Structure 1
């Protein structure tokens, strides 16, 4: 076995636990707060996002979602049959539309949507392939993590631990004290978490997708 191969194997062994397998008790120690208190601190999304999205983006997003509703029906977990991939396709559509709009207004395409992007904790003890990741190109050699999104068909809370650990790792890797953003979503409801290296904030869930969207445009 070559030295390089042995080094890779040793590094892989360091990742002992997936974010999704970390217990709530262990996560509370890592994050240094109680989940109950954090979850009870939810505030309105309007306190997070003070500027309204451009009308052009709203129209694009509305049209893309209506097209999916017509072709695939409403992604409600209680309505059978529903494949988990339907949820991720809706989420991917939202994110792709947003990134394409933002990049169209910039001289260079700095934002990229990545799927199943691996995030590794600073101490190499934890890792996970996150469903959606938005990255920002800083220069030819450096990329910054900006947004992570985890989709779930039934409950927002089930993905929260995994998302929080990923956000902490993203912030540590970026090492710039700038805000990182995370969403847990069912495609219908979206809940935002922000972290700047010191302070955590959690929004109340917001509804983005309605079953009768094709009948109303607002």
Structure 2
């Protein structure tokens, strides 16, 4: 009996020791886990603080971004009645005529060659990314940006070659108003080098996945600040969904906008002649803005 009792007590003691060791391990694991989580959340909080600080520093140059400014505040700043402004839209050919689109320094056959290149690049884009349709779940704003770049490339390359002008395309360029009230980052800005220390803004392009109306206000605000920076000449802007375009001009006294014009159509790959005749006007519009935008030539020579 005594042996049995001793065996039982020994077994019980071993079990208690095992349970105690297990509990100790669990407590240690829990403490380790708690310490790890505390460290994780501390780093997360530090990272968020750093991100917010960087964001604050980046946006410190202006009070309100173009995209965040309310329509009421934007129209008050621009001195516009948007409904009347939209209703007063003019045909694109009239805009080209008023922009005096005799493309100086560029031969007529060169303009035709540009159109040929742009047509080919558009077909490449459609083959690679598909037709820019809002109905597609895969179609996003970045796709519109890609199409704009496909169109701009041949035009800018040939324009530089023909005129010798030092124009450059800037992506995600920061614009800030002279009074620091407004500012933002524009996806497409074309600048002209006047001297080693001075540049002039020629045009901007605001791309949107959906309707053109979403980008018009932002484009107007950016053009207003562009003109102020240039201190003369004309500012040009385009708003596009890739398929639809509108051209805007600002001369310091009033804004003028074209009616909507098309750059693409469904059977573009099978109807080159139709595109060259009816839809290549986008090439002429961009050329007109490059030639007429920024500081006037007489101002550059002063």
**TM, length-normalised to structure 2:** 0.66
Distance 2:154 2:58 in 1: 37
Query: Deviation at 1:60?
Result: 0.8
Q: Contact 1:192–1:203 (CA<8 Å) still a contact in 2?
A: yes
What SS does structure 2 have at the residue aligned with 1:214? coil
5 Å-filtered alignment, 1:176-215, equals 176=232, 178-215=233-270
Match of 1:22 among 69, 82, 90: 69
Q: Which has the higher strand share?
A: 1
5 Å-filtered alignment, 1:58-207, equals 58-107=115-164, 109-176=165-232, 178-207=233-262
Name structure 1 gaps, 5 residues minimum: 1-8
Distance 2:223 2:127 in 1: 34
**Structure 1 residues 168 and 215, CA gap change in structure 2 (3 angstroms):** same
Query: Deviation at 1:84?
Result: 2.2
Deviations 1:134-163 (A, max 9, x none): 111111111100101110011100111111
Distance 2:195 2:269 in 1: 41
Query: Deviation at 1:114?
Result: 0.8
Higher RCO (CA < 8 A, seq sep 6+): 1
What SS does structure 1 have at the residue aligned with 2:96? coil
Distance 2:153 2:251 in 1: 24
Deviations 1:101-145 (A, max 9, x none): 1011123x4111111111101101211001110111111111100
Query: Deviation at 1:214?
Result: 1.2
What SS does structure 2 have at the residue aligned with 1:201? strand
Match of 1:37 among 84, 99, 104: 84
Distance 2:59 2:270 in 1: 51
Distance 1:10 1:41 in 2: 40
Q: Which has the higher helix share?
A: 2
Distance 1:12 1:31 in 2: 22
**Structure 1 residues 37 and 70, CA gap change in structure 2 (3 angstroms):** same
Give the total of aligned pairs: 208
Distance 1:211 1:157 in 2: 23
Distance 1:27 1:100 in 2: 35
Query: Deviation at 1:83?
Result: 2.7
